[in-house]
Structure 1
Amino acid sequence: MTRNDDTTDGRTDAKSTGSSPTASEIGSLADPDDLRERETVACSERDRVLPAEKFDALRERYERIDGVVQVGVTNDDGAVLLVGEPPYAPPGGNVEAGEDWVAAAERAMTTITGVDVRVDDAVAFERTAFRSGGDADASFHADSVLFEASLVDPPAGYREDPTFADDLDHPLYGDGSEHALAWVDAVTDDVHENHRGDVDAFLD
């Protein structure tokens, strides 16, 4: 899973850090390292060297959170719900310190869509080791989990024409007026190049 850190850089409003009212198929996930034991989850590790200024900013961010989640909501037609201007990418958010990863994914998606979302399963786990281009000894790691999820009792018409939550106030998407939610059934140039592999995994 190749994560574009810019697309998950905002903190979703943590209205609830508990479980969603609808039980997830995966249940819960306290430690993403546990996913390494599951044959159905693609696990990977990679190294990235960043300019010193960007490295410092990203390290400061990850010192406050446990990681990030991205979520692919799929529909009966085999399409996946993406967000963008375009380019499009799977929506997601931060995992707050001590927060369950499944709960974080459901919270992030409900905050963005205004619709209850059930996480069905984990698809991929990636651990990235970031290193500073200005200091060979400076490093930290960041975890990211990609989940597959489903809408739970969405309002009439939502499956055909998805919209942002009415009260959306998101660090990345604002009130949603300059972005769009869209069902995507093929990997095209409209999909962010860093997320084409992720999207393709949902479309297989």
Structure 2
Amino acid sequence: MDQGLAAFYAGIGALFGAILTALAGYLGARHTAKSAVDAAAKQVAAQAANELTHWIRQERRQVYREVLTQARSLIRTNSDVKLAAVRLHLTDSDVAVLHDQSWGLALACTDVETLGGEEVTRAATELATAALRMAGATNGLTGQMAVSSTNDRDRVLTRLGEIETDLAQAADELQAASRRELLGTTG
């Protein structure tokens, strides 16, 4: 009976050992699975943050490029309008194009403000202000004025030239600020 009792206790010990081993295995597997899930969740969150950062950067690059292209186009149009006025070939449609491009640039600058970048937003605001001043200056210029009133024409052309200079400086500053924003460098 001692042997039977010993075998019984050995069996119970083996059973408890098996249960403890299974429990330890279960807890270990559960911990490993939880760690794997946590690591995967962190990786997915980091990937999502990287994707968002990349998307914002791409959108900013596109908007900055579009605004700068419009600014350069407006500067060329303004130069063409001034030259046409000096040559007495200015038409009301030339003035209308300049006016419309000025407003278009001012509106495009709001896209820059939407996507942010504090320095870029400030530069876009200055560019929009110059564009609106140009739109306002076109109110005093007509095709008829180019042939009828030399003093008024010269005054308006001088004003357009001053605004064109401001516009070019603001566009240069926006370009520099957008470059710094996109490359992640500071002033």
Which of the five TM-score ranges fits, normalised by the shorter chain? under 0.3
Answer 1 or 2: which has greater helix percent. Answer: 2
Give the strand-richer structure, 1 or 2. Answer: 1
- Pick 1 or 2: higher relative contact order, CA cutoff 8 A, min separation 6: 1
TM-score using structure 1 length: 0.23
